[in-house]
Structure formats: C-alpha cells, structure tokens
Structure 1
Amino acid sequence: MVSTGIPLDTAAIISTALEGILYGFSVLMFMGTMWVSIYHKPSTNHPLALAAILLLILSTAHLVIDIIRLEDGFVKYRDTFPGGPVAFFQDISQPTFVTKNLIYALQTMIGDGVVIYRCYAVWQSLWVIILPSILWCGSSVAALIAPYYASQATGGNIYTNQTAQWITVLFVLTLSTNLISSGLLVYRIWMTERRVSANRATNGTMMPIVHVLIDAAIIYSAALFTILICFVCANNAQFIMLDMIMPIISIAFCMVLIRLTPRKITPSYFPTFSMEINERERRDSQQYPMKPLQVHVSQWIHNDGME
C-alpha cells in the first residue's frame, strides 16, 4: 500500500511542533492536578496521583525522542542515510521509532487502565469490567507486539509491513475499551442521578460529573478514531495524530481529576454512586442515633401570705 498525504519529513516537523504545544498544556494540567492533590490531601487517591506522574514522564520521554529523531533525520544522517530524511522517517526499524512506540504502548495501557478503574469504582462490580478488561489485555498485547515487528522490519513502510496488522488491532481495541468503559461509567452515574433526584433534599446534582467524563472520553476517542481512519487509508497524517495523542491522554486524565477533586465528593476521588437512598439513611441513623428524651418538670408555688 502506497502512503498518501504529506511527506514524512514534513509530518515529522509538524507532529513534533504540535506535540510540544500540547505537552505544554499537559504540564500546566499536571501542575494543577498536583496542587489540587496537595491542597485536598485527605481526599487524595495515591494510585491515581502516581498514574498522573507516570503519564507525564512518558509524555516527556516521547517528546524528547521525537526531538532526537528530528536531529538524526535532518542533521546527523541527512547526507549519509540512503534516500535522505524522507527514507529515514519511513524506516520503522530505527531504534528511536521502536522506542517511541513502546512508550506509546505504556501510555495507552495506563490511560485505558484508569478508565476501567473509574468504571469499577462506580459500579463496584467485577462483572461489569470483564469485557473492558479483556479488551485492555488484547490491546496491551498488540501494543507490545507491534514495536517488536517494527524492529524486525527489513524494508518498506509501516503500511506494508506486518506491523500494520497489529497496529490496526491496537487502535480498534483501544477505542473499544475507552468507549465501552466510559459508556458504562456515564450510564451508571446518569441512572443513579435519576433515581436519587426525586428524593434529594438539596439542589446538588451529579450531572456536571457526567459532562466532565463525557468531554474526556470524546477528546480521547476522537483522537483515536482519527488515527485509525488515517492509518487504514495509509495517510501520513496518522503520524501527526499519533504524536499528539501522547499529551492528549495526559490532558484528558488530569482534566477529570482537576474538575472532580475540588468538589470533595468522596475521599476516593471517584465516588461510588451506586449507594441507595435507604443506605444513606441507615448510615445517618447510625451516626446520629435517637436517644430517649428526658423531661424534667419543676413546679413553682407562689405564696402571698394569705391562709
């Protein structure tokens, strides 16, 4: 299959520039996430804070490797690599290309794993996350196998190599995992909101949480779907989107944490909305038990001195 779209050397420049811009936003989002986590220390979820740190580290490493690839393609091997910069960026067996794809694999595994964790935190049921977990395992395998086949490539571009099959499987499974997990998460919150809205004593609502989760899912899913379409069509624009999705994953992740944490919904960041109204009443009754009321009546007699 012949690649279409912009030349690979041009795509490398554009993708690295756009990735750098989005990386700057992801750093700001990460700083906001850490500030919120420290300021609201009692409600900090340490595994999720660790996930945010790992996502930023992986995004940083990916950007550094892209910068190294630019230096190698346009400066170091400009006159010595057969075919020039275009052939250099087309060679998927380059160690830098394999490494950056391994980093993407880890970033995807963490991002999808967090989405599944959110789904479990809301449903509190392992049965619900069986399908997303299976899809996550499949995408993880594909994400690790694809760089291996890329490293073993002896020629041709990414669209004609066996790597293309595993990359296609990776994008399909990752997109499915994100859509299913996010759909289950939003559905659970929405159904719980409908169930408790009629009995709520205050004006609070969980719909802003739904909007935040939907926004994060749309950002991530739209980027994945664009990459999948470009890859299937053998369009080199997929290289641009693939580099951009690294900071996008971190941005979407931190966006949810920043928007939800200040609300202090529950001590674990992601609330368990499956709690019923009667359970809340039972908990309140245990916290404030009814006690017998003792009434003391005092009688006051006025004596005016008359018999």
Structure 2
Amino acid sequence: MVLSNDLAALIGFGSEASLWGMYTVIFLVSLSVLLWRRRTRDVNWVIVSANCFLYVLATTHYAIEFNHFYTTLNAIGVVGFANETQQLVGADLLISLTDFVGDMVLIYRCYLVWGRNWYICVLPFLAALAGFACVCGVVHLVVAVAPTAPVAPAALVPLGTAGYALPLCTNVMVTSLIVGRIWWTSRGAAKNAALRSTISTTRKAMNIVVESGALYLVAQLILVVLFALGHPAQAIVAVMAVQIYGIAPTMIIIRVGLGVSSEQTTKDSGMTHISWTRPSQNRAFGQSTTVFNTVVTTVTHDEPMPNETMQMKTIDSHTDKDSISAV
C-alpha cells in the first residue's frame, strides 16, 4: 500500500498527540523537580524559561494541528486533509521556530561550559539562524507559488533541505564542543588519585549530553532525508519532531534534578582552575573540593592531607556557592 499525503498527515497527527501527552507529563515532572531543587540551590532561570517557552510552542503547534484535524475532517473528510491552509502555514513555521529555540538552549549550555566564551558559539548560532531563515523563505514561497500543496514543490526542496540540515549541523557542532570541553578539562583527574572520582561525574555529564543530543539528532536527520526525497512520510516525522525538540532538553533537567547527572540548571561558577592553598580554618582536614569547568566533585579522605588541601579558585565567578554544577 502506497502511503498518501493525506494518510501520512493523519498518522502524523495521531503520533504527535501521543508525544504531546508524554511531553506534558515530562514537563510537569520537570517543574516539580525544579521546585524541589530550588530549596537547596539557585535555579538558572534562563534555561528554565527557555524550556517553558519550548513547551508553549509545542502545545501551540499541537493545538493548531488538532483544530485542523477537527474542522477539516468535518468539512471535507480524509481526501485533501494534507492540503496546506493558512493555519498549517503557522504550524510549519512553529516546527522550525521550536527547532531554533531548542538549538539556542543547547548553544547556551555550550556558552556556559566554555566559560562564557561567546566566540565559540558564533558559528553554531549563525548556522541555526540561517536554517530558520531558509525555512521561512520556503514557507513564504510555497504560499506564493502553491498555497494548497501538501508538500513543497521540487524547485524549493534544495532550499528547504538546507533549512533543516543547518540545525542538524548546529546540533552536531555544539554537542561535540560540550563533550570535548568536559573531557579536556577533566582528563587530568586520572593522574591524581585524590581526583579520580571526578571521572565518573564527568562521564555522567557527557553521557546525558550525548543521549539528549542523539534523540534530537535522529529526529532532525530523518526529517532532512525524507524532505530531500519528497516522501509523504515527512508529514509524520515533522510534527513528531516538534515534541521531540522539547522533550530532549526537558529530560536533561529531570535527570539533573534527580541527581543522575550534572548540568547547568543552577547558576554556574564560571571558568575554574585548580590550585594548592593552605588549609582553611573553616574546612575540616581531609576534605577537598575540585571543580572541572563547573562540574563539581567532593573527595573525602580517611586521613588528613599533609599541610595542604586542594581548593577551588574561580575566574569570573558569578556566585559564591561551592556546590554548583553545569553542562
């Protein structure tokens, strides 16, 4: 059986409805975790606000699709269900806007992990912005050339492919930068017996970034391939991707809040380096705190350390708290 555009659009709506339900539960859990976590540490409201905005975008897209499902089936039935309408134009734009906001959240995490060095984020930001601009151009041209076409005309496919491929490149670049930075700043821990426990902390941080990025990347990659081929199944993946773009970063907040990993849901302490200082009178012998680029690990020894203890010096610090985590 050949998959038609109308059938693909119906399947896509059903799939998005299921994912939106899952996303709603995940989002509410993340808010509960953040309210609980706020008792012990400051919350990074930039990331929290961005994730709330992602949920609003995903919910708005689903509401538009639901309204189209209800009104179109009532009016004309299944035949012509996938045809473009003014409402669906807005939904199409929301797909790329949600993708763009999700990329901005990822770029912001990269900015924090690299010690608030905005130079490292210029290329990923330009790639994400260019991708969003390409999709906006495609939507405008489709409305002007073929306002009821269920898929983009063949002449516009290259531009649309670029619009979806550039955010994919952004995801790969930023995820690699985050993971590479964490690995590079923590590689010295293996050479110091007192710091080896930081290795497990950094591995958890890297794992969660890679896992979240992989979920995001798979959705983007499949959408790029199907759009380039002009396959009707793009209507299924496109609407599902909207919810995935929100689920991936929200899962990071939940796992961090439950202590599964470390990430920047709390205010970061900036770039750090390790130095040896005389033991503080306010700190007990045998305890040292080590920070690897805002990933914090506490190492406790059974015996006092001789004459010296390792402490943290923070460059461009934005908080005076010891226990702060980021990724």
Would you say same fold, with TM above 0.5?
yes
- Partner deviation per Cα, 1:83-126 (whole Å, 9 max, x = no partner): xx44341x33x112201012112211110001111111101212
- Partner deviation per Cα, 1:237-290 (whole Å, 9 max, x = no partner): 111010111111111011111112344958753756852222xx46986986xx
Partner amino acid, structure 2, of 1:122:
V
Structure 1 residues 48, 147: CA separation in 2 closer, same or farther (over 3 Å shift)? Answer: same
- Pick which of 183-192 and 64-73 moved more: 64-73
Structure 1 residues 53, 216: CA separation in 2 closer, same or farther (over 3 Å shift)? Answer: same
Question: Looking at CA atoms only, which structure, 1 or 2, has the larger radius of gyration?
Answer: 1
Unmatched tracts of structure 2, length 5 or more:
284-327
The residue that corresponds to 1:259 in the other structure is 255
Partner amino acid, structure 2, of 1:95:
Q
Report SS of the residue matched to 1:43.
coil
> How do 1:144-183 residues align onto structure 2 when only pairs under 5 Å count?
144-154=136-146, 156-160=149-153, 162-183=155-176
- Pick which of 229-238 and 254-263 moved more: 254-263
Between the aligned partners of 1:284 and 1:46, the Cα distance in structure 2 is 35
Number of residue-to-residue matches in the alignment:
277
The residue that corresponds to 2:206 in the other structure is 210
Structure with greater strand share of residues? 2
TM-score (norm 1): 0.81
Q: Is the 8 A contact 2:109 2:264 kept in 1?
A: no
Report SS of the residue matched to 1:98.
helix
- Pick which of 197-206 and 108-117 moved more: 197-206
The residue that corresponds to 1:142 in the other structure is 134
> How do 1:28-43 residues align onto structure 2 when only pairs under 5 Å count?
28-41=25-38, 42-43=41-42
Q: Is the 8 A contact 1:196 1:277 kept in 2?
A: no
- Pick which of 209-218 and 98-107 moved more: 98-107
Q: Is the 8 A contact 1:142 1:170 kept in 2?
A: yes
The residue that corresponds to 2:123 in the other structure is 131
Report SS of the residue matched to 2:230.
coil
- Pick which of 224-233 and 155-164 moved more: 155-164
Report SS of the residue matched to 1:277.
strand
Structure 1 residues 265, 6: CA separation in 2 closer, same or farther (over 3 Å shift)? Answer: closer
Structure 1 residues 59, 258: CA separation in 2 closer, same or farther (over 3 Å shift)? Answer: same
Determine what percentage of the aligned residue pairs are the same residue: 23
Partner amino acid, structure 1, of 2:49:
L
The residue that corresponds to 1:69 in the other structure is 68
- Using CA pairs below 8 Å that are at least 6 residues apart, which structure has the higher relative contact order? 1
Structure 1 residues 28, 232: CA separation in 2 closer, same or farther (over 3 Å shift)? Answer: same
The residue that corresponds to 2:113 in the other structure is 122
Structure 1 residues 145, 266: CA separation in 2 closer, same or farther (over 3 Å shift)? Answer: closer
Q: Is the 8 A contact 1:260 1:269 kept in 2?
A: no
Partner amino acid, structure 2, of 1:104:
I
Between the aligned partners of 1:115 and 1:194, the Cα distance in structure 2 is 23
Q: Is the 8 A contact 2:158 2:228 kept in 1?
A: no
Q: Is the 8 A contact 2:124 2:170 kept in 1?
A: yes
Q: CA RMSD in A?
A: 2.8
Partner amino acid, structure 2, of 1:51:
A
Between the aligned partners of 2:281 and 2:125, the Cα distance in structure 1 is 37
Between the aligned partners of 1:48 and 1:216, the Cα distance in structure 2 is 15
The Cα shift of 1:57 comes to 1.1
Unmatched tracts of structure 1, length 5 or more:
79-84, 289-307
Structure with greater helix share of residues? 1
Structure 1 residues 268, 17: CA separation in 2 closer, same or farther (over 3 Å shift)? Answer: closer
Structure 1 residues 273, 256: CA separation in 2 closer, same or farther (over 3 Å shift)? Answer: farther
Structure 1 residues 214, 34: CA separation in 2 closer, same or farther (over 3 Å shift)? Answer: same
Between the aligned partners of 1:247 and 1:253, the Cα distance in structure 2 is 11
Structure 1 residues 167, 284: CA separation in 2 closer, same or farther (over 3 Å shift)? Answer: farther
